[in-house]
Amino acid sequence: MSELNPSLRDNVRMLGELLGFSIEEHLGRDFLNKIEAIRAAAKDDRGRVGESSPALLKILSEMKDSELVPVTRAFNQFLNLANIAEQYHGIRRHREGDSVDGVESISELLTRLKESGIKDGDIRQLISELNVEFVLTAHPTEVTRRTLIMKYESIADCLAALDQNDLTAHERQEIVDRLRILVAEAWHTDEIRHERPTSVDEAKWGFAVIENSLWHAVPKFLRGMDQALTTECGEGLSIDACPIRIASWMGGDRDGNPNVTAPVTQEVMLLSRWMAADLYLRDISALRNQLSMWDASEELHRHAGASREPYRELLGRLRKQLMATRQWAEKAIEWLKQGHSDLLPPEPQVLLENSRLVEPLLICYRSLVEKGLHTIANGQLLDTIRRVHCFGLELVKLDIRQDSERHRNVLNEVTQYLGLGAFSAWSEEEKVEFLVKELQGNRPLIPQKWPASDEVAEVLSTCRVIAQQPNEALGSYVISMAGLPSDVLTVILLLRECGMTHPMRIVPLFETLDDLVYAPECIDKLLSNDWYKAYTQGHQEVMIGYSDSAKDAGQMMAAWAQYQAQEKLVATAGQHDVRLTLFHGRGGTVGRGGGPANRAIRSQPPGSVNGTFRITEQGEMIRFKFGLPKVAEQNLTVYTTAVIEASLLPPPHPKDEWREMMGWLTERSLASYRHIVREHPDFVRYFRSGTPEQELGKLALGSRPAKRKATGGVESLRAIPWIFAWTQTRLMLPAWLGGDEAIKAALEEGKEATLQTMIEEWPFFKTHIDMLEMVVAKADTRIARYYDNRLVADDLKPLGKLLRQRLKDTVLWVNELKKQESLLRDNPVFKHSMIVRNPYTDPLHYLQAELLKRVRSEDDVSLATVERALKVTMAGIAAGMRNTG
């Protein structure tokens, strides 16, 4: 088995020792010894077979209430420090030229593409049209407070500083002393939010990720891409190339979140403009200091006038406009908070269109090139131009998401008020005919004054806010639970009625199994409508939901349904001569479509990527992937190389026998999954008692409620807390349930040879099996059994025993399929990382089960202390598992 890299091991040990020093200084040597005893007992427990270690359980069960919080905090903090060390180690490996997780550099990929027969012109053409868009979402899984995140970033900077070769002993000690202070500050900082963040807070957190990381990473990434393209294909990126884009749902996603209102969306968009103006002001100030030369083109002199420093003159005017823009955004927010529903009118100097920001920069660029100052032109000035193309004046393009039922309710009230009958009672054909007729006409449909319900008024207020925004500030309008063409046409009509004058992308989100099956037919009907096809201007975006489809049908069935839906959507778009963008609503975990991004993209159906790829990045995964500039740069490479390869060297079409095999497997996996989740009479009670699902609402994770509706069973629970709960107990049920019995049946019926061929030759199936392996490697039946023993009633324990046995069987089937004796044979680094974490994660699991028992009992316990410790265990386990929802 591969050992931990020596440099990584040294960093983990050093950070652990510094944490121990802080703990001892704060709580004394005896307390630190108790922590070490728990860790040693947990390590011993991992080597046992059968019941959990009596020594470990004895120490944990005898803990006083006053020790609960500091003990859980100690293990939580160590896991966070280990994460920092691992994250930085990825940067170190990249810097040293190692391939991180088998991902190629852009240069290596371009070389391989050319060796495969792809022509330079085809590569350049694809890259010129490349569109990889990340949509930052605030799903409730980021459990770490922003103040701690900033300290963790500083710790990573110190680790980087220690890697310098020419440090003196004194300089090295200064860095270690700085680390000691940072670790102490983290130890003495409360890691748990006690108040749920607002939607505006979440948006600010997203802006901070851009300010501190992506703002720096994007131009560096594009500089490297330009250099690779120039070297390998003879021509670099054009100056207006924009292969990377950033969008956001923070402040725009109102599906099931009553806290996102029209004023909230307006405030977030204004804050976004304020932050963008502020960031560009920093760039322009630096450029004015740099561009002090006097020799300039006639074009620049025409714009700058009779100035001896024409570059500074033109940039000075731009600076004043950006200052006016920032000031206007600030005043507009105050105007909004005073209760005004309309947007504060901007002064003429305020910049609203990106062209007004980029044109002065391009004039300076062209002048420098004309005068032979290429080095200066292609320095920071080009970086700023690339930032404008990526981020614009809006910083992020805001998506809006709303449930289709809310839109239908608006029209239902309108048509009844106008005496036209109930819109909801009409057939789909009648709805479409009515909607298209209204869209083709000129008269308004919605009366100026009418007694709209509060919910309807809110939908219309949101549409008015959208209509006030420049087109460049908006991303897509995503309709969740969209199942019919009328759902899309309804949104277009509502936007037009509220003053929208340009066509916004309207994106149906197909989430459940039935939705995915129907998706191609729905899009075909839409694009067959002449009015709608003209509205699309030749581009249709469709969102594929991973979370709810997996919760609805199980991971294996959902993955195959998603694959088939994409295939058919590609064919449908081709028939209508429309370019298709697939928007992937993936989460961080395997149960929500997560896993290594490069492999996931390269295993998509052939033709489904085609140079354009849109994907959600959520919660803690934003921090893991984009929280540090160097890490962000690496992940931009991961995604971009995968999209380029999937477009130019797509995977093979699945053979008929593979399709038949997947149909055979998924028929069984679906039945098996639903038999437990939907049909087993004890399942809901078991889930609610054996996991911390009931207590998750007490953890101030995000602005959104854990449920779409206040009442209801598992079906009403959001996919994220559904998976979060099973991750905390290490049963990891959503990722394997159903697929286990399908694979078992295939092996028992002699279909192993076909499965082996699928693994070897079909990236989709290989990726699915590898992700299944990864998630069951994180699972632990002994820990899951302990939760059952402490929390589950005797009449429910047989179900828990059944599920644990099925999990054990899943491990056997995976190993048999992969011809290996133990899991993760091909991924020793990940395997060893889990082994290192287990002695710190395991005590948190055992403690959590005990704390849940205390919280739910009627005994006399210090409820506030126990609940706080419980929240820390949730955060610590999330850190140890590296993803939660």
List, by residue number, the catalytic residues: 139, 551
Cβ atoms 699, 728 nearer than 8 A:
no
CB atoms within 10 A of CB 856: 13
- The Cα–Cα gap between 621 and 617 comes to 6
Residues 878, 841: Cα–Cα separation, whole Å: 9
Terminal alpha carbon distance of the chain: 29
> How many helices and strands (H and E) does the chain possess?
38, 8
Task: Quote the tokens at residue 280.
Answer: 């560009």
> Please, are residues 134 and 247 in contact by the beta-carbon 8 Å criterion?
yes
The residue among 853, 838, 885 whose CA lies nearest residue 75 is 838
Taking 3-state DSSP, the helix, strand and coil percentages for the chain, each rounded to the nearest 5, stand at 65, 5, 25
Cβ atoms of 777 and 834 closer than 8 Å? yes
> Taking the alpha carbons of 752, 753, 758, 759 in that order, is the dihedral positive or negative?
positive
Q: Which long-range contacts (CB under 8 A, 24 or more apart) does 602-605 make?
A: 602/642, 602/645, 602/646, 602/651, 602/763, 603/651, 603/763, 603/764, 603/766, 603/767, 604/563, 604/566, 604/646, 604/651, 604/764, 605/563, 605/566, 605/567, 605/570, 605/651, 605/764
Q: Which of 212, 158, 219, 190 is nearest to 382 (CA)?
A: 219
341: how many CB neighbours lie within 10 A of its CB? 11
DSSP string, 306-334: S-SSHHHHHHHHHHHHHHHHHHHHHHHHH
Say which amino acid occupies 713: G
- For residue 705, give both structure tokens: 């409620």
Look up residue 707 and give its DSSP letter.
Answer: B
Cβ atoms within 10 A of the Cβ of 435, count? 24
Rounded Cα distance, 869 and 847, in Å: 9
User: How large is the angle between the packed helices 763-778 and 828-856, nearest 10 degrees?
Assistant: 50
What is the residue type of 871?
A: K
| Contact (CB, 8 A) for 172 and 185 | no
- Pairwise CA distance, residues 781 & 785, whole Å: 6
C-beta separation of 340 from 461 below 8 A: no
d(CA 883, CA 617): 12
Angle subtended at Cα 568 by Cα 717 and Cα 604, rounded to the nearest 5 degrees: 70
Task: Please give the radius of gyration of the chain, using alpha carbons only, rounded to the nearest integer.
Answer: 28
CB atoms within 10 A of CB 813: 24
- Phi, psi for 3 (deg, rounded to 5): -85, 165
Q: Between the CA of residue 251 and those of 454, 502, 543, 545, 608, what are the distances in Å? A: 19, 22, 19, 20, 29
Residue 500: CB atoms within 10 A of its CB come to 21
244 neighbors 222 (Cβ within 8 angstroms): yes
What is the rounded CA–CA span in Å between residue 90 and residue 79? Answer: 17
Q: What residue type is 666 in one-letter code?
A: T
Structure tokens that stand for 854 in this block: 């205390």
Reduced to 3 states, what is the DSSP secondary structure of residue 614?
strand
